[in-house]
Amino acid sequence: MLQGVWHFSFTVADLDRSVDFYTSLLGFELVHVQEQRGDYTSRLVGYPDAHLRIGQLAVPGRAPSHSTHDLELVQYLSPTGTRQDPQICHPGAAHMALTVDDIHALHRTLERRGVRFFSPPNAITSGVNEGGWTCYFEDPDAIVLELVQPPVHRVAQAATAPSSRS
């Protein structure tokens, strides 16, 4: 039976660059960096002689429900790969949405720091998040991320709902 989400993971070209992006620009906390190689790692990822560098990051102030981290960044030292077509319309494409309290201020800050956005923040005009704001942007590897400022009614619901993360 499903018990929760352990973490979300992205494969990146340069772990140090990505850790810097996610910590200094987005506010994640670095939990741990490790290298992995050997039989276990090769079996897990399906590449003989796999050698990985892994960074584990957490949202500050929130204890993950099962794991020590929320986001895992993986750099393949061996084998090395190349970025495929990153367009979000392709099957298998993914994105991660991040909840923020002031999307407009963060958008301005990130844009000044050179982050590429698909658009400015968009008002959500229908559905369960009507009244909120959202926009897509890219990390240094063209991984799509989303900022979401939930509508007031969703923030109030979350504040009163029981949580397994507290």
What pLDDT score does 162 carry? Answer: 64
How much is the pTM?
0.88
What SS3 class is residue 109?
Answer: helix
In this structure, are 122 and 147 located in the same domain? yes
Last-in-domain residue among 21, 50, 78: 78
What pLDDT score does 86 carry? Answer: 81
Count of domains observed in the chain = 2
Residue 20 placed within a domain: yes
Domain hosting 67: range is 8-78
pLDDT digits (tens, 9 = 90+) for 77-93: 999 998 888 888 988 88
What pLDDT score does 104 carry? Answer: 98
Q: Where are the alpha helices (DSSP H) in the chain?
A: 15-20, 39-45, 103-112, 152-160
What pLDDT score does 166 carry? Answer: 42
What pLDDT score does 64 carry? Answer: 59
What pLDDT score does 139 carry? Answer: 97
Last-in-domain residue among 78, 107, 125: 78
